[in-house]
């Protein structure tokens, strides 16, 4: 099944912010297929676009593209200095503290032999459903799979994560809550516009499949009925 449609959340003459669906890679460097987010945005606008950060294929939400190489370079500086604030929502197994900072070095890429580099993710626990929790996570650095790896590190793997999660919990949510993807959503991005200097704060609503899962959890753990409709 093809990923859902991609929506544009914001556009000006310098950049565009898209709402990437789960199941869609950002660009062909990370996927062999032609249908990637960069191509969809390019075709929608009719101009060349430059990805300035990444989202995992299984993650939905806000994704920024520059409309020139110059603006892309300015974005690289923003990310390098930690001036871009990204907020994610994740449904995890277990109940973490109400808030905290995960300060745990990670390999920067896929090579396990690489030396670890600093990696930090702050989090706030938003809701609890029995032995599961909805968590808001903000990465302070930008390492590969950082949120997924950090939440696993504190024994709170993300539901639906086939790489770092737990198979029995992923199966439970597929069978009982009809969740067939990783519950990780890039809900918000906030930064100073690299060309104009104004503050931009762009949000992507929770996709329907994730909102439905939360509604079923709230119903189930409030003494209501069902899991799957």
Distance between CA atoms of 31 and 22, rounded to whole angstroms?
14
The residues facing 7 across adjacent strands are 19
Structure tokens at 212: 């439905």
Would you say 121 and 148 are in contact if contact means Cβ atoms under 8 Å apart?
A: no
Give me the pLDDT at residue 227, please. Answer: 55
Give me the pLDDT at residue 55, please. Answer: 95
Distance between CA atoms of 101 and 226, rounded to whole angstroms?
35
Burial 15-33 (b: 16+ CB within 10 A, else e): bbbbbbbbbbbbbeeeeee
| 97 in any annotated domain | yes
Closest residue by Cα to residue 90 from 174, 152, 177: 152
| 101 in any annotated domain | yes
| 228 in any annotated domain | no
Distance between CA atoms of 69 and 50, rounded to whole angstroms?
7
Would you say 70 and 62 are in contact if contact means Cβ atoms under 8 Å apart?
A: no
From 56, 103, 111, 161, active-site residue: 56
> Which contiguous run of DSSP H or E holds residue 79?
helix 69-80
Domain count, the chain: 1
CATH number at residue 204: 3.30.2350.10
The label of the residue with tokens 């869609």 reads 24
Give me the pLDDT at residue 37, please. Answer: 96
The label of the residue with tokens 């799979």 reads 145
| 2 in any annotated domain | no
CB neighbour list of residue 74: distance below 8 Å, 6 or more residues apart: 66, 194, 195
| 81 in any annotated domain | yes
Give me the pLDDT at residue 195, please. Answer: 93
Closest residue by Cα to residue 133 from 161, 94, 105: 94
Give me the pLDDT at residue 186, please. Answer: 98
Distance between CA atoms of 166 and 211, rounded to whole angstroms?
21
Give me the pLDDT at residue 229, please. Answer: 39
Full domain range(s) for residue 59: 7-221
> Interior CA angle at 207 toward 2 and 144, to 5°?
75
Known catalytic membership, residue 201 = no
Would you say 116 and 141 are in contact if contact means Cβ atoms under 8 Å apart?
A: no
| 13 in any annotated domain | yes
CB neighbour list of residue 135: distance below 8 Å, 6 or more residues apart: 89, 90, 91, 92, 96, 123, 124, 125, 126, 151, 156
CB neighbour list of residue 12: distance below 8 Å, 6 or more residues apart: 196
| 229 in any annotated domain | no
> pTM of this prediction?
0.93
List of the chain residues with pLDDT < 70: 1-2, 30-32, 110-111, 223-229
| 226 in any annotated domain | no
């Amino acid at each position: 099944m093809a990923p859902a449609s991609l929506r544009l959340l914001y556009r000006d003459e310098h950049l565009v912010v898209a709402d990437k669906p789960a199941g869609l890679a950002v660009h062909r460097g990370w996927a062999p297929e032609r249908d990637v987010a960069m191509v969809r945005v390019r075709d929608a606008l009719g101009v060349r676009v430059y990805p300035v950060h990444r989202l995992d294929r299984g993650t939905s939400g806000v994704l920024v593209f520059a409309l020139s190489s110059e603006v892309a370079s300015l974005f690289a500086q923003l990310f390098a200095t930690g001036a871009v604030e990204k907020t994610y929502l994740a449904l995890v197994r277990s109940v973490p503290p109400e808030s905290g900072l995960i300060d745990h070095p990670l390999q920067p890429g896929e090579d396990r032999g690489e030396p670890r580099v600093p990696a930090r993710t702050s989090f706030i626990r938003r809701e609890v459903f029995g032995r599961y929790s909805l968590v808001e996570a903000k990465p302070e650095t930008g390492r590969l799979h950082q949120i997924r790896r950090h939440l696993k590190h504190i024994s709170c793997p993300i539901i639906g994560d086939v790489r770092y999660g737990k198979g029995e919990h992923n199966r439970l949510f597929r069978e009982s809550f009809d969740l067939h993807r990783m519950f990780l959503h890039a809900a918000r991005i906030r930064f100073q516009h690299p060309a104009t200097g104004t503050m931009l704060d762009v949000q992507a609503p929770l996709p329907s499949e994730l909102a439905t899962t939360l509604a079923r959890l709230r119903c189930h753990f409030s003494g209501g009925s069902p899991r799957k409709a």
